[in-house]
Amino acid sequence: NTGLKVSSPAKGDLVFFNTSGTGVSHVGIYIGNGQFISATSSKGITITDMDNSYWKPKYLGAKTL
């Protein structure tokens, strides 16, 4: 419930994803140019494109703090 929803993320905003089928299950940090920093157990810390075929359909939205 913290933060303000934004229609498109800016650098530093949190981006939210549903990877488990029930609500928010993954959060990344938007770094601009359609990319975000993500930390996963399988790949560690990565920089990933928002329209990557895995992440794009799982995107829920963004918030600024």
Range of the domain at 39: 4-64
On the question of pLDDT at 22 being above 90, the answer is no
- Per DSSP, what are the bridge partners of residue 34? none
Question: What pLDDT score was predicted for residue 17?
Answer: 97
Domain CATH number, residue 38: 3.90.1720.10
Q: How far is CA 53 from CA 37, 47, 56, in A?
A: 16, 14, 6
User: What is the number of domains present in the chain?
Assistant: 1
Q: Could you read off the pLDDT of 24-43 as tens digits, one per residue?
A: 999 999 999 999 999 989 99
Supply the pLDDT for residue 1. 79
Q: Distance (Å, rounded) from C-alpha 65 to C-alpha 49?
A: 22
